[in-house]
Chains A and B, each alone.
Chain A
């Protein structure tokens, strides 16, 4: 049981957190033919755009209502109207996903009312959905923006369906899952002869493929038709606690029952998923997955020598922290520091004394003596200073390729993760030297403390700890 505390500093140093509207933008990027748009100053969109482009290495459609000082004071209705009409004229999207920002929330723009007036004035855009979500920058974090946006998508577009599609499953994925993860989950579900519809589906637009033509909007994702028929599904699977609210909303609107999986990384977590799919479909777990399960067990056996007793510091959003933290504990690692961005009921259940809602400076202060750092790419400076290996997870990962295809779910994804982490520990093993067991005091710098105290008697002293990032 962990105690959840909030950093009391006035100054956040080396932020771990990103803002709510950005999370909402990513959710809208999982809708087909959508134009995600921020209601704010053009910089709000520009920073987010650069961040996503660097992470996904993809074209990112994203627009802004381009608020300035005067329009902010007078209210943003004209800007929203112009933005919607310009986007309509230029791109003809199926959906505009609109998120507010700190600026327009501080002013108090009543966007719902604006949209009603704009709709009444422009019947020609009736066929285009406009989904508005309120996401002030100064509340919550990226993950909250994502889950709020998904709730709003469901509120706006889900309807009860009298005709059911018996093999259809709605999947509500959290923002901690990559396009690669979504593909893997789809494959698992389809192996039970079920059809998975992801809401939203970032594997459609952000999986790094080459389209035949130029599209100014998102070039894949959940289609309008799929959104309208959410109510026809037989069941909903939500992945990550952040999707709990969306799953409840969907059940309330359409009657489709839901199951929340807190994570899909780890052996038992995937057993639960496959058992659930088996009972939903009435089919046995396919041979392929029985084999993969056995491979994962074998990988865990091979790796446990190297993961056991290792100290790990993680900085990640709640659901990602929960997935990786719980899994690392299952691999015998000790969670020695956990920093996150926002509240979640899961935080208290993490196997660590304290979970801090804070920044990377806090993580750095708590990570002394660790064997491994796990956080996003901004951990690179810290890793270099501390001479610790860094395993990059989450958004942004801008200094490595293939972030969209990083796979950590399913038996196969967990197996690869076991190997990857095991290899980091292997390549940072401390070799014995003549002075290792010498009775003379060992010259050991403070930041390699754990290696000196950590693994029981006869401790190898690190002669050199290479700075390495993974």
Chain B
């Protein structure tokens, strides 16, 4: 069994990633995320990333082996939806004490697994390693192995303690755990020539369900989504898919590539965000399936669905276009690929005045340049202070970002829309794009903006008193007194 540091090096050496391949040997060893700056860092740890990637598997018990902070401070806080089991939303942790730190926490972990199996009877337990238990040397691989043998149930070690690196690395280590312990361990009951895997889609706000009806209509079966709304046995039997789509940048590229290597499942990288991206993804899925032996009529049927859906979506979006034309968007995203959203918003008539590329690859950046022109404003790391200034000075009309920077926009009294992890609205597929445009329109034209920007009457007075030459009787311009003005 490879040690954790070997595994980290392994995922840093990713032949499926062009960015990685142009790096020198030394640079590659450092990994794909930049070294963190103490006192100026933001973002989650590797454990966080592993949990994000795997927790959407709904019928598994996700057990965090560590002190209370790792689970207690952040459980049940994500919007991945389930069509069936709710077990994934139950918080399990060994909540280790000082005594465990001194004597080791392996026994407690073993007992915890037994308690979970007794009480909740899940098809599998995922055990997450954390910093403290890694530091004291708890061997979760050994405990999981012993527990699997004793209880006859897959107990899967997820070796991604927070201090090994960033969220992105955690995504990849989670993928490694699936490859090593889960994928290929169960045979599917039936297979069809239309079986696909979707890798790196977490069904946030139910987005998978915006896409699935179209796949259903085409007769395409999602054998496993890794990991949105997935069941354990689906992931375990995903090695029999005919083709795969990799979503969400390169977070799980190791899973897609290794499944291609081991099981001959070809994959492409695509996105469900934006109309043209959605169509392209459907096309690619159909093409790959046909290449793999599915009847060729799938291609024509797919084109038909694309034509119908695009027409519908354009019609719906055109209704908004007039009110959106020329509105300027500041786009700060993490996981969602910037360029796919950029093209989607441009489709709706919006102007993108800047986008973050912190987690984008060089290839992504090229695509953004293609879309936004050579002088595209790309920010590697935009400080909240700068976002605030940009909004305050009205160089943008709305900001789309993750929840973390929400209040930067709101305190500048500017419209804001959540497009990350915790969002409540689903924006995938054709319907999702229409929904996003609708939400942007609603945010831009909401009646609160005029009200919260309005000075109090006494502030108006003070402001105009400060300006010499302004006469007292001009202090209350009628438009500002009118409530609906």
Chain A residues engaging chain B, CB cutoff 8 angstroms? 9-15, 17-19, 21-22, 37, 40-51, 53-54, 57-59, 63-69, 72, 79-80, 82-87, 90, 101-103, 106-107, 136-139, 141, 210-211, 214, 216, 359, 378, 381, 398
Contact = CB atoms under 8 A, between A and B. Distances in A.
B382 interface: no
B458 to A, nearest CB: 15
Given A82-B37, A138-B68, A214-B411, A103 B132 contact: yes
Nearest to A58: B407
A372 B464 CA distance: 55
B135 A106 contact: yes
A101 B40 CA distance: 18
A12 B39 contact: no
Contacts of A18: 68-69, 72-73
A411 to B, nearest CB: 31
B403 A15 contact: no
B394 to A, nearest CB: 15
B39 A63 contact: yes
Contacts of B41: 42, 45, 63-64, 66
A136 B66 CA distance: 12
B307 interface: no
B36 interface: yes
B38 A43 contact: no
B12 to A, nearest CB: 14
Interface string B380-401: 0000110011001000000000
Contact of A138 (B132, B412, B413): B132
B69 A102 contact: yes
10 contacts: A18-B69, A47-B73, A53-B403, A72-B135, A102-B131, A103-B135, A106-B132, A210-B411, A210-B413, A214-B392
Given A15-B93, A43-B162, A54-B77, A138 B101 contact: yes
A262 to B, nearest CB: 26
Contact of B69 (A21, A79, A90): A21
Interface stretch (B111-119, B218-226, B245-253): B111-119
B37 A66 contact: yes
B454 to A, nearest CB: 12
Given A13-B91, A106-B135, A63 B40 contact: yes
B84 interface: no
B214 interface: no
* Most B CB within 10 A of own CB, among A15, A67, A79, A84: A15
Contacts of A85: 39
A404 to B, nearest CB: 13
A102 B66 contact: yes
A23 to B, nearest CB: 11
Nearest to A360: B91
Contact of A11 (B37, B48, B66, B111): B111
B108 A37 contact: no
Interchain residue pairs A-B with the least CB separation, the first 10: A43-B45, A86-B39, A83-B39, A11-B112, A10-B111, A137-B67, A19-B69, A83-B38, A15-B72, A47-B74
Given A13-B90, A86-B38, A214-B411, A43 B72 contact: no
Contact of A37 (B39, B91, B116, B131): B39
Contact of A51 (B77, B86, B92, B113): B77
Nearest to A78: B38
Contacts of B407: 53, 57-59
A12 to B, nearest CB: 4
B73 A11 contact: no
Contacts of A72: 131, 135, 163
Contacts of A9: 112, 115
A54 B422 contact: yes
Contact of A42 (B69, B162, B392): B162
A378 B76 contact: yes
A107 B75 contact: no
Contacts of B44: 42-43, 46-47
Nearest to B76: A378
Interface in B16-47: 36-47
B404 interface: yes
A72 B63 CA distance: 24
B92 A46 contact: no
Interface in B225-250: none
B77 A398 contact: yes
A330 B384 CA distance: 48
A80 B77 CA distance: 30
Contacts of A214: 384-385, 388-389, 392, 408, 411-412
* Most B CB within 10 A of own CB, among A22, A46, A49, A65: A46
Interface in B163-193: 163-166
A22 to B, nearest CB: 6
Nearest to A10: B111
B206 to A, nearest CB: 17
A47 B86 contact: no
A87 B39 contact: yes
B311 interface: no
* Most B CB within 10 A of own CB, among A19, A44, A137: A137
Given A72-B131, A381-B89, A138 B388 contact: no
Nearest to B108: A10
A15 B69 contact: no
Given A46-B45, A139-B97, A66 B92 contact: no
B90 A14 contact: yes
A13 B92 contact: yes
B406 interface: yes
A47 to B, nearest CB: 4
A46 B136 CA distance: 23
Contacts of A44: 45, 69, 162
Contacts of B116: 11, 13
Contacts of A79: 38
A113 B259 CA distance: 51
Contact of B164 (A46, A59, A68, A138): A68
Interface string B92-120: 11111110110000001101111110010
Contact of B74 (A50, A64, A90, A101): A50
A11 B75 contact: no
B98 A47 contact: no
A15 B95 contact: yes
A58 B41 CA distance: 19
Contacts of B164: 68-69
Nearest to A80: B38
B393 to A, nearest CB: 12
B321 to A, nearest CB: 32
Contacts of B408: 59, 214
B30 to A, nearest CB: 12
B77 A50 contact: yes
B36 A68 contact: yes
A295 to B, nearest CB: 31
B70 interface: yes
Contacts of B310: none
